Amino acid sequence: MTISSYPYAKLLIAVIVAIAVGVISNSVGWGIATFFIMMFIFIWVASWIFEATIKGKVEVTDELEELLEKLVGIGEAKKQLPFNARGWLNSLGLYVQFNEKGGLSRLQAGDKYRSQIDAWRDYMYEWKVKRYNPGDWEKLVNPTFEIAEWLLTFEGLPTEHADAFNRAIEVCKKEGQLKLPPIDG
């Protein structure tokens, strides 16, 4: 995690540095100026770092909307599963975070340390995509969606299917084909 993950940390750092400069220079004016300079630097650096991924508004096509809906399905499944089964949704290396509050939704998906898609859904259920980096991670969406449905059917990973599930994940990682144990038995 970076300092960008903690917005209040940046404010706290700016306040501490401003107080330190104010005390050292024995001037409230220098302390206030330092605070604003630090906040400017944090905002400038953040915009510089993330400029490559925020190159304007991403148009939401039918294909992208279908991808978003599958990712939402994975995120909702993660919330419905027991805590000890949620990690199994990450078995193929696709990590999905979906949060919903007050009619607004936020979706992030990608690998473990960097999201490849960052989208918001407003009150009108229209998607606003802030970041979208197409790539190999998209090949993991359908199999992960299948895993989510399969785990929801059993309300977790049943012990009698654990070995078969692990073998299916390994085969999928090597060959790209996911063949989960049958639901009926």
Higher pLDDT, 13 or 100: 100
184 CB-contact burial (10 Å; exposed 0-12 / middle 13-18 / buried 19+): exposed
Statement: residue 55 has pLDDT above 70: no
Burial of 149 (0-12, 13-18, 19+ CB in 10 A): middle
3-state DSSP helix/strand/coil % of the chain, to nearest 5: 60, 15, 25
Structure token pair of residue 22: 């104010």
- pLDDT above 90: percentage of residues in the chain: 23
How far from each other are the two terminal CA atoms of the chain, in whole angstroms? 42
pLDDT per residue as tens digits for the range 102-142:
778 999 999 888 889 999 887 778 888 888 989 889 999 99
